Amino acid sequence: MPARTTKLTCSFLQLLVLGKTNHLLDYQEIAPDHTIKLDRVGADIQIVRRHGSSFRRLTLIGSDGSQRHFIVQTSLTPNARSDERTLQLFHVRMVEDNLMYSTFLEVYENHCARNDREADLPITYFKEKLNQAILGQISSEAVVDHRLQAYNDITKNLITDGIFSQYMYKTLPSGNHIWAFKKQFAVQLALSSFMSFMLQIGGRSPNKILFTKNTGKIFQIDFHPAYDANGMIEFGEPVPFRLTRNMQAFFSHFGMEGLVVSSMCAAAQAIVSPKQTQLLWYQLAMFFRDELLSWSWRRPGMPLAPTAGGGSMNPADFKHKVITNVENVIGRINGIAPECLSEEEENVMEQPQSVQRGVTQLVEAALLPRNLCMMDPTWHPWF
C-alpha cells in the first residue's frame, strides 16, 4: 500500500527496548548501552487480520535500526484485564505483533488451499450426520454415538494427523530448527494448558492460538475465564484443554511424555510448596477481585458506575466469592501436582503409582475421542 506520513506528538513518550546482553540485569539497573530508544515510526501502515478482525500494524524503528511491530486495537472487549481498563479511557491500545505469528487455523486453511479442499467440509459433514439428533429423532444416549461416529469418519477420511507436522517441516530449514522449535512449542503449550486447566479457560478454537514459526512461542487470544450467575468460574467443556491429534502427532510419544507432561508437572509442583501457595493465593485473590468487580458491573440491571464492595453485592458475599474461586483453583493444582510419598506410604500401596498420574489423566482426557466428539464443530476437534 502507498506510504503514509503520520505526525505523532508525544513529548512525554520514550520507548525503551531491552537489548541482548550476556548477563542478567535487574529491571532497575538497566545500563544506557543496553537499551534501544524509539527513533521513528515507519511510514507504511499495513492492514493485517488478527483475532478474527482487521487491524492496522505500525512499525516502530529503534535507534539501532531494529524494528518492532505493533497492531493498534481501536476497541477492547468487556473482558479485558484490570491493568488494561485504564487504557479504555483512550479507546486504543497497541499490542506487539511478530511478523512470524501464525494461528493454528491458518495452518489448516493453508493445507486446504494447497490441496484444493473446502475448509468447512468437516464441519458441514459433522452437522449433516447429526441432523437426526437436531430434529429429535434419536434418543439422547444415541447422540453421543452419532457424534463419535461422525468424528471417526472425519479423522479417517477428511483430516489426517500430519497436517501440522508437514507445515512445520516445510517452514523450518533444518533438523536443528525442528528440534528447537518442537521443544519450545511443547513447553509453551504445556504451560498454556496448565493455565487453561488451572483457571478453567475454555473456547480454545484454532483461531485463538497464535505461535511464532521461528521460535515456537505461543500467544493465546481471549484467554480469560467465564463466570456463572453466582460469580463462580463456569466451565462446561468435556476436555480440560486443547491438545488434539495434530499436536500429538507432531510431538510424538516421546515429546508428549518427555516435554508436555513433564512441563505441566513441573509447573504444578513449583507452586504447591507452602510458601509459593501463599504467594499464589494473594495473587489469585487480587486477580479474582478485579475480575468479579468487572463481572458484577456487566450483569444485566447493574449500574454502570462502580460502587464500593463490588457492584451491588454485599462486601461479605463478594469476599466469599473471591475466596471460593481462589480455593477452587489451588485445589485443582494440588490435585495434579506430583506427590512425595514416604517409604511407609509406598509400602502400603498395592501397586506403584506414577507421580505424574494427575497430569497424565488430564492429557488422556484431552485426547479421548469420546470427549473430543462432544466439542462444537467450529472448535475443530479433529484437527
Task: Please say if the pLDDT value at position 333 is more than 70.
Answer: yes
Compute the distance between CA of residue 18 and CA of residue 16 in angstroms, rounded to an integer. 7
- The whole-number average pLDDT for the span 371-377 is 94
* Cell numbers 510419598: residue: 341
Per-residue model confidence (pLDDT) at position 96: 61
For residue 38, being part of any structural domain is answered with: yes
* Residues 144-168, mean pLDDT to the nearest whole number: 94
| Lowest mean pLDDT segment, chosen from 3-7, 232-236, 307-311 | 3-7
Neighbouring C-alpha atoms within 13 Å toward the C-beta of 138: 14
Residues 89 and 138 in one domain: no
* pLDDT score, position 330: 93
Longest dimension (CA), the chain: 75
- Cα R_g (the chain), whole angstroms: 24
Same domain, 109 and 193: yes
Q: Does residue 240 fall inside a structural domain?
A: yes
How much is the pLDDT for 299?
Answer: 67
Mean pLDDT on 15-39 = 50
**pLDDT tens, 236-267?**
999 999 999 999 999 999 999 999 999 999 99
CB atoms within 10 A of CB 31: 9
How many whole angstroms separate alpha carbon 173 and alpha carbon 267?
31
Q: What is the pLDDT of residue 37?
A: 82
Mean of pLDDT over the chain? 80
The rounded distance, in Å, linking the Cα atoms of 72 and 80 is: 15
- 77 is written with which cell numbers? 472487549
- In this structure, is residue 302 part of a structural domain? no
Average pLDDT over residues 289-312: 64
Mean pLDDT computed over 328-342: 85
Last residue of a domain, one of 97, 120, 154: 97
Residue 317: inside a domain: no
pLDDT at 220: 84
Q: Which of 77, 97, 117 is the C-terminal boundary of a domain?
A: 97
Last residue of a domain, one of 62, 97, 132: 97
Residue 74: per-residue pLDDT:
60
- Among 106-120, 132-146, 189-203, the minimum mean pLDDT is found in 132-146
Supply the range of the domain harboring residue 261.
103-270+371-379
Highest mean pLDDT among 21-35, 159-173, 289-303: 159-173
Residue 344 is assigned to a structural domain of this protein:
no
- Establish if 320 belongs to a structural domain: no
Provide the 10 A C-beta neighbour count for residue 358. 19
Tally of domains in the chain: 2
Same domain? For 262 and 143 the reply is yes
pLDDT > 50? residue 303: no
Cα 359 to Cα 265: distance, rounded to the nearest angstrom: 7
Pair 264, 119 in one domain: yes
pLDDT at 151 over 90: yes
Q: Is residue 36 part of a domain?
A: yes
Average of per-residue pLDDT across 354-363: 89
3-state helix, strand, coil in the chain (%, to 5): 50, 15, 40
The cell for 200 is 478453567
Residues 173 and 207 occupy one common structural domain: yes
Q: Are residues 145 and 243 in the same domain?
A: yes
User: What is the structure's pLDDT at 24?
Assistant: 35
Same domain membership, residue 63 and residue 188? no
Same domain, 198 and 130: yes
Summarize the confidence of residues 202-230 as an average pLDDT.
88
Mean per-residue pLDDT for 223-248?
Answer: 92
Residue 371: the pLDDT is: 96
What percent of the chain is predicted at pLDDT more than 90? 43
Give me the CATH number covering residue 224: 1.10.1070
Residue 5, in any domain of the structure: no
pTM: 0.76
pLDDT per residue as tens digits for the range 73-98: 665 555 544 435 433 434 455 566 66
When mean pLDDT is compared across 56-65, 222-231, 313-322, 338-347, the lowest value belongs to 338-347
